[in-house]
Amino acid sequence: MMIHLGRVPAVIVLSADGAREIMKNQDDIFADGTDTTYTALEWAMAQLLKHPKTMEKLQNEVRQTARSKLEKTEDDLEKILYLKAVTKEILRLHPPLPLLLPQECTQDSAILGYDIAVGTRVIINS
């Protein structure tokens, strides 16, 4: 079986049973990766509906950047700064997943004035 890891092709040698298992489960494998994207988009839409002035400002920024151009380029994305800021804020407020594995405090600590007791499970969103 030939797969691509980024731009690098790789060959995986499987038994016939292994290949059949992958083919049976390929839809699940690829569909599971869309859950986090869907969750982020759902939160983005919810936040923009809740804050119509922000949505209007975003629409104006995108329209101004896209005006007079039929084809958009990657350089155009660099000009949409407010969209980047809003996207980062939505992901900060509503991360689709914790980004780091849970940790456990090994000693009593204080973070930003909050006391964290030894043994407390901590999830760090980096």
Read off φ and ψ for residue 117, nearest 5 degrees: -80, 155
What value does the mean pLDDT take over residues 81-91?
Answer: 92
CA nearest neighbour of 126 among 82, 92, 76, 79: 92
Q: Report d(CA 108, CA 124) in Å as an integer.
A: 17
Read off φ and ψ for residue 122, nearest 5 degrees: -120, 130
Whether residues 24 and 63 fall in one domain: no
Whether residues 28 and 41 fall in one domain: no
CA nearest neighbour of 125 among 96, 86, 104: 96
Whether residues 20 and 45 fall in one domain: no
The structural domain count of the chain equals 3
| Residues spanned by the domain of 123 | 100-126
CA nearest neighbour of 91 among 30, 35, 42: 42
Whether residues 87 and 51 fall in one domain: yes
Query: 105 with 122: CB under 8 angstroms?
Result: yes
Q: Is the pLDDT of residue 2 over 70?
A: no
β-pair partners for 104: 121
Q: Is the pLDDT of residue 117 over 60?
A: yes
pLDDT tens-digit series, residues 39-64? 888 999 999 999 999 999 999 998 88
Cα angle, residue 123 at apex, residues 120 and 125 outer, rounded to 5°:
150
Tell me the two tokens of residue 62.
């995108």
What pLDDT is attached to residue 18? 65
Q: Report d(CA 21, CA 79) in Å as an integer.
A: 46
Greater confidence (15 vs 84) lies with 84
Whether residues 49 and 72 fall in one domain: yes
